[in-house]
Amino acid sequence: MSTIKLMIVKCVTALLISTVMASSLVAFAAANNNTVTIVDGGKTIELSTHRTTAEEILRDAEISLSVGDKALLETNSNGASVLTVRRAFPVYITVGSETKMVNMVGGTVADALAEAGVTLDESSVCNLKPEAVLTEETYIDVVSVKYVTESYKESIPFTAKVEYSSSLEKGKKQVKGGVNGSRTVTVKKTYKNGVVTATETVSTVVTKPAVDKVTVIGTKVVNKKKTTTTANGTKPYSSIKTISTLKAPANLTLTNKGIPTSYKKKVTVEATAYTDHSGTRCASGVLPQTGYIAVNPKVIPYGTKMFIVSADGKYVYGYAIAADTGGFIRKRPNNVDLFFNTKSECRQFGRRDVVIYFL
């Protein structure tokens, strides 16, 4: 065989061997490919790959994982490969004023608390049960609960009452009592995260009872004796209404016409009403009072006792004593000034003639 033919044979042989080897490699690679079912939430992908790890398979499928996501590669009962992607969801855990977030793909509330480094104790209250299963974004609140018992004193206001009594004269009243009491109150306060959220009264102990204020109003009707003229035609001074508040002598009696039964003399003079509550004493040293009148002491000496009525009969001034000096003595030396309690009474009386009976 010539050299050229030998070279041709060798080339053909080498080409055949290369073709056979390439076919074998393709057949070997095809024989080692595996179909993996990728489940990512609601999306399912069938991927033919010779990769053996979840990370490599996801990379070939161009599927990325976020923080907290997990991928699980398993063989099902039929021998098929299933790669499940579990996407993480946020779980927010609030303890007091601090909130932490952890990413979970499942598990329980207890697992999330452990992941966040939160431990429940006997003073802690969680809004979810520790064994509750997490499936989506969740908010967990852990509250620190504290109970404190306190006591304080408070006043018990007295109650005002009105009673009627037939043993008390009608028109009169008596007031008794009216004292506040006291009591000790014990309460249980609930603190959540340091803030009072509830207060419960545990006990109330009265340490001093309140004394009610009772106003007793009389209903008894008293039949007062009518003033009647005595057999000799006289009546007591106390039976008439007078402006003067001075206490008259016991022997002062009046006739049926309202004049003293016994007097030294009588005069008719002009009288002017006046009042003074400045605290200044009268010229004789006594404090002003209805019954003490101002006179000209040269005409009517201080201490003179009198019975005075207006000449028109409209006013009964009554028993009076000369006790002060009036400013009228220069122009009207015989006149008198009668003391009244109010300016209104003075205006009503004004200036008018009066009859003075000297006792």
* 234-358 has the same fold as 89-224: no
Instruction: Classify domain 234-358 at the CATH topology level.
Output: Barwin-like endoglucanases (2.40.40)
Q: What is the CA radius of gyration of the chain?
A: 60
Interatomic CA distance for residues 270 and 305, integer angstroms? 18
**Structure tokens given for 150:** 């306190």
The per-residue pLDDT for 20 is 38
Q: How, if at all, do strands 292-295 and 305-310 pair? A: unpaired
Residue that has been written with the tokens 């043993």 in this structure: 167
Domain parsing of the chain, residue ranges: 34-86, 89-224, 234-358
Q: 242, 319 in Cβ contact below 8 A? A: yes
Q: What is the pLDDT at residue 224? A: 58
Residue with tokens 């009976």: 357
The CA distance from 319 to 317, in Å, is 7
C-alpha to C-alpha distance for 221 and 171, rounded to whole angstroms:
9
Left (φ > 0), alpha (ψ -120 to 50) or beta: where does 19 sit? alpha
DSSP conformational letter for 238 = G
Q: Is 25 left (phi over 0), alpha (psi -120 to 50) or beta?
A: alpha
Per run of 10 residues, the mean pLDDT along the chain (length 359 residues) is 48 45 39 81 88 89 88 86 92 91 92 91 89 94 91 94 88 90 94 89 94 91 58 82 93 92 95 90 92 94 96 94 86 92 94 96
* Residue 358: both structure tokens together: 């000297």
Place of tokens 């989506």: 136
Q: Whats the size of the chain, residue-wise?
A: 359
DSSP string, 279-309: -PPPTTSPPP-TTEEEE-TTTS-TT-EEEEE
Q: Output the pLDDT for position 223.
A: 66
Tokens of 36: 């993996």
Q: Are 323 and 340 in contact (CB under 8 A)?
A: no
DSSP state of 349: H
The verdict on domain 89-224 having CATH code 2.20.230.10 is yes
Which pLDDT score, from 0 to 100, does residue 32 have?
59
Helix (H) / strand (E) containing 28: helix 3-32
